[in-house]
Amino acid sequence: MDLRTVLVVGTGLIGTSAALALRKRGVRVLLADREQGAVRLARELGAGEEWSLDGQAVVERVDLAIIAVPPAYVASELLELQRLDAARFYTDVASVKAEPIHRAAQLGCDLTTYVASHPLAGREKSGPGAARDDLFLGRPWALCPTEEADPEAKTAVLRLIELCGANAVEVSASDHDRAVAVVSHAPHVAASAVAARLADATDVALGLAGQGVRDVTRIAGSDPGLWLGILSGNASPVAEVLEAVANDLADAASALRALAEGDGTATGEITQLLKRGVVGHDRIPGKHGGPASSYAVVQVVIGDRPGQLARLFQVCDEVGVNVEDVRLEHAPGLPLGIAELSVEPGAATSLTEALRERGWQVP
Ligand SMILES: NC(=O)C1=CN([C@@H]2O[C@H](COP(=O)(O)OP(=O)(O)OC[C@H]3O[C@@H](n4cnc5c(N)ncnc54)[C@H](O)[C@@H]3O)[C@@H](O)[C@H]2O)C=CC1
Ligand SMILES: O=C(O)C(=O)Cc1ccc(O)cc1
């Protein structure tokens, strides 16, 4: 089915990102939020037009309404939108699925026109100002149709996912919630626990912070209010994963205590955890949801001057090398840094040679 008009309720990070992606594909988008400022900013960013009611009636029934509000408000928003007959079909994007669906059933929502969904893409920033039209490109987007759902409602949500450039993954709500406890929600709490150690760390310690601690704690910078809602909505599955993580941490701490007291055999336990970590890390699928791939990394020294990265990418373009990922390491106190370019292993040598020929320092 074609989505000609879509209503986005909740013009924050996710709602506005979806709106921008849809606008880019020529879809007409209407915007609503309980905060007028959020609608205004989304509109100014080109995400669509303001949704308005004619008294208590909708002016125009849209093809699909996307409910992009915190998990606890999804069901009541769905009820209200269905009462207004605002759309033919409805979805939401909340990070938890079983509870909003259960609540919607309890409130008496029409489950035939509703298919819950969840894009596995986001950022540690909130609000329309953080939105990006390419946020969902190549990312998984779960959809959880219930038995009651009309097949056409599912088709509408699949079209939304396709228009946003994401990869649809159909899964039951309970399997979804157990899965995201492992890959998103428990990692978030673990990141917060590590970041919390930094709250009273010394300036010396913080001055020595490198990329590792930034990688591990990035998501800990997210909105605590939103995350309290996400974790509360998936409490048991998240608690189960955290208990397992806590056991591993407690075992590692005991082994290190034993090691500090001279028990050399304790290294075995620590090695086992580190090795299990490598196995788990390597199982994370690569870009576009494909199998985990190992790219070659080409390190290039770059000066801290405007335009350096653009010139570096220009060389990659000239020699036809696709940069799969890029990471910047800054050298503290020095006017230079290192750009780490991840490329297909077969392309690393030719890129290195091309860069050196053009005067770049490739250590
Ligand atoms: N932040 C992230 O990285 C991701 C978030 N999600 C889910 O997307 C949903 C939205 O999250 P974000 O966009 O990050 O949050 P956000 O805080 O950027 O935006 C939420 C917006 O919803 C509005 N809102 C709240 N209650 C409302 C109501 N009852 N009616 C109308 N508007 C209301 C707020 O004013 C705000 O503008 C949440 O359910 C979240 O679990 C899904 C994937 C990633
Ligand atoms: O910032 C990131 O990398 C994320 O992975 C964000 C995120 C947060 C919540 C979700 O439900 C899905 C994705």
Q: In this structure, are 214 and 147 located in the same domain?
A: no
pLDDT at residue 333, rounded to an integer: 66
Residue 287 is assigned to a structural domain of this protein: no
Query: Beta strand 325-330 with 62-67: parallel, antiparallel or unpaired?
Result: unpaired
Residue 140 is assigned to a structural domain of this protein: yes
Query: Beta strand 53-54 with 57-58: parallel, antiparallel or unpaired?
Result: antiparallel
Q: In this structure, are 184 and 313 located in the same domain?
A: no
Q: In this structure, are 47 and 160 located in the same domain?
A: yes
Q: In this structure, are 240 and 261 located in the same domain?
A: yes
Residue 322 is assigned to a structural domain of this protein: yes
**Separation of CA 72 and ligand 1 centre (Å):** 10
pLDDT at residue 288, rounded to an integer: 59
User: Largest Cα–Cα distance of the chain, in whole Å?
Assistant: 77
Residue closest by Cα to atom 6 of ligand 2: 122
Q: In this structure, are 303 and 325 located in the same domain?
A: yes
Residue closest by Cα to atom 20 of ligand 1: 12
Query: Beta strand 49-50 with 28-32: parallel, antiparallel or unpaired?
Result: parallel
Residue showing tokens 């791939």: 293
Residue 289 is assigned to a structural domain of this protein: no
CA 18 – CA 132 distance, rounded (Å) = 8
Q: In this structure, are 338 and 192 located in the same domain?
A: no
- Half-sphere exposure of residue 201, counting CA atoms within 13 Å on the CB side? 14
CATH classification of the domain holding 126: 3.40.50.720
Residue 107 is assigned to a structural domain of this protein: yes
Report residue 272: phi and psi, to 5°.
-60, -45
**CA atoms 286, 318, 306, 46: torsion sign:** negative
pLDDT at residue 287, rounded to an integer: 60
Q: In this structure, are 194 and 234 located in the same domain?
A: yes
Q: In this structure, are 27 and 58 located in the same domain?
A: yes
Q: In this structure, are 92 and 111 located in the same domain?
A: yes
Q: In this structure, are 164 and 183 located in the same domain?
A: no
How many Cβ atoms are within 10 Å of 292's Cβ, its own excluded? 11
CATH classification of the domain holding 349: 3.30.70.260
Residue 290 is assigned to a structural domain of this protein: no
Q: In this structure, are 14 and 159 located in the same domain?
A: yes
Which residue ranges have their beta carbon within 6 Å of ligand 1? 9-15, 33-35, 38, 68-71, 73, 77, 93-95, 118-119, 122-123, 126-127, 223, 226, 230
Show the domain range for 10: 5-171
Domain boundary among 282, 308, 338: 282
Residue 288 is assigned to a structural domain of this protein: no
Q: Which of 132, 177, 183, 184 to probe ligand 2 with, by most ligand atoms within 8 A of CB?
A: 184
Closest CA to 226 of 176, 185, 180: 185
User: Are 244 and 190 spatial neighbours (Cβ–Cβ below 8 Å)?
Assistant: no
Question: In this structure, which ligand is nearest to the CA of 119?
Answer: 1
pLDDT at residue 304, rounded to an integer: 79
- State the total domains in the chain: 3
**CA atoms 41, 47, 49, 55: torsion sign:** negative
pLDDT at residue 292, rounded to an integer: 60
pTM here? 0.87
Please name the amino acid found at residue 208. Answer: L
Report residue 116: phi and psi, to 5°.
-70, 150
Give the burial class of 268: count Cβ atoms within 10 A of its Cβ; 0-12 exposed, 13-18 middle, 19 or more buried. exposed
Q: In this structure, are 149 and 181 located in the same domain?
A: no
CA 202 – CA 9 distance, rounded (Å) = 43
pLDDT by residue, tens only, the chain of 363 residues: 799 999 999 999 999 999 999 999 999 999 999 999 999 999 999 999 999 999 999 999 999 999 999 999 999 999 999 999 999 999 999 999 999 999 999 999 999 999 999 999 999 999 999 999 999 999 999 999 999 999 999 999 999 999 999 999 999 999 999 999 999 999 999 999 999 999 999 999 999 999 999 999 999 999 999 999 999 999 999 999 999 999 999 999 999 999 999 999 999 999 999 999 999 999 999 865 555 656 788 888 888 788 888 888 989 988 899 898 787 776 656 677 788 888 888 899 999 999 999 999 998
**Which atom of ligand 1 is nearest to 230's Cα?**
41
